[in-house]
């Protein structure tokens, strides 16, 4: 798996605090993490990795629910730091807004 990024502890560590707010892991493997909110399965967070046409380029796919909507937001990154920062900011927003 040379040149292949795996969905690893960086992303899982960012997502773990959501388990205290009613979120659960639905699927976890080296290339995908999926979570949904208990009793509201349409609210889903997904982080996955796929290879681009060049061997050392990975695409990180992040799908996030939009607050008060049945729609989701999709973002892709090729930079690991950008993707972890983006996801961390989103998760912090969910946790900070959980009292609404």
- Residues 6-47: pLDDT tens digits? 666 789 999 999 999 999 999 998 889 999 998 887 789 999
Q: What are phi and psi of 46, to 5 degrees?
A: -135, 135
Examine residue 80 and state whether it is found in any structural domain, yes or no: yes
Examine residue 56 and state whether it is found in any structural domain, yes or no: yes
Rounded-to-10 torsion of CA 91, 96, 98, 100: -140
Q: Which residue has the tokens 């080296």?
A: 30
Examine residue 100 and state whether it is found in any structural domain, yes or no: no
- pLDDT > 80? residue 99: no
Domain span including residue 54: 9-95
Closest listed residue to residue 80, CA positions, set 54, 96, 57, 55: 57
Closest listed residue to residue 83, CA positions, set 15, 3, 2: 15
Domains: count for the chain: 1
Examine residue 61 and state whether it is found in any structural domain, yes or no: yes
Closest listed residue to residue 17, CA positions, set 45, 49, 59: 45
Q: Show the tokens assigned to 16.
A: 């773990």
């Amino acid at each position: 798996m040379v040149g292949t990024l795996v969905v690893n502890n960086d992303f899982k560590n960012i997502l773990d605090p959501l388990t205290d707010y009613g979120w659960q892991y639905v699927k976890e493997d080296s290339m995908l993490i999926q979570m949904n909110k208990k009793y509201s399965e349409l609210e889903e967070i997904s982080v996955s990795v796929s290879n681009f046409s060049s061997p050392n380029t990975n695409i990180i796919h992040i799908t996030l629910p939009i607050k008060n909507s049945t729609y989701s937001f999709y973002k892709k990154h090729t930079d690991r730091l950008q993707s972890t920062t983006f996801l961390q900011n989103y998760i912090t927003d969910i946790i900070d807004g959980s009292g609404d």
